Structures are given as C-alpha cells and as structure tokens.
C-alpha cells in the first residue's frame, strides 16, 4: 500500500479578519481546513458557510492578502500554512 501523495493532503489556512470583517466573523483569527488545491475562492465559500449573514456581505467587497501579498485572482491556490487576510473596504478622511 502506498501513502497518499502530498498533493491530496488537505491544507490548513490561517484566516485573519480586520475591521468590519472581524466584527462580522466574531473572531480575529481562525484556522480553516480546505481540500488540496483549494483556491482563495474556495476559502471564501467556506467562510460564507461558517459565518452566514453579515460576513457574506463583507466578503463580497473585501480585498485579500495571501502571505501579506495582494491577491487579485481568487483562483490563486493556497498552500498549507498560508495566511489569508480579509480586508474590508476602508473609508478614509
């Protein structure tokens, strides 16, 4: 019997919420387990399921960072241990 390949192992992502995203999620940070090959879009869908309601609206307008780098393509794959930051729009003044 062979062991499963690393690519089939689930990945754990640390999600960090800021500003109104933090309030909507009710937490500052959480770990989310995703299927191997999961993308930012997949993570967002899981977050919607974990926190229905206000967070879903925040996610619609949010920007995301993966390991402190801006993500414009929600199809970007996430690696095990990645940090996904949820940044809602900020009003300036």
Instruction: CATH number of the domain at 37, please.
Output: 3.10.20.30
In the prediction, which pLDDT does 3 show? 43
Within a domain: 92: no
Give the CA distances from residue 59 to residues 7, 12, 48, 72, 92, in Å, rounded to whole numbers and listed in that order. Answer: 28, 20, 8, 14, 19
Residue 92 has pLDDT above 80, yes or no: no
Overall domain count for the chain: 1
Structural domain for 46, as ranges: 11-80
Tens-digit pLDDT profile for residues 71-90 = 999 999 999 999 999 999 87
Within a domain: 74: yes
Within a domain: 42: yes
CB 71 within 8 A of CB 2: no
CA-wise closest residue to 88 among 66, 59, 68, 65: 59
Tens-digit pLDDT profile for residues 11-26 = 999 999 999 999 999 9
Within a domain: 67: yes
Within a domain: 32: yes
In the prediction, which pLDDT does 80 show? 98
Within a domain: 85: no
Within a domain: 36: yes
- Rounded to whole angstroms, the Cα distance separating 79 from 88 reads 23
């Amino acid at each position: 019997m062979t062991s499963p390949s690393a690519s089939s192992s689930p990945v754990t992502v640390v999600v960090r919420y800021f500003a109104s995203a933090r309030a909507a999620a009710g937490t500052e940070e959480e770990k989310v387990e995703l299927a191997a090959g999961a993308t930012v879009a997949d993570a967002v869908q899981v977050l919607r399921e974990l926190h229905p309601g206000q967070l879903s609206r925040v996610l619609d307008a949010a920007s995301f960072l993966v390991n402190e780098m801006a993500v414009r393509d929600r199809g970007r794959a996430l690696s095990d241990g990645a940090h996904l930051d949820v940044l809602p729009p900020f009003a300036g003044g």
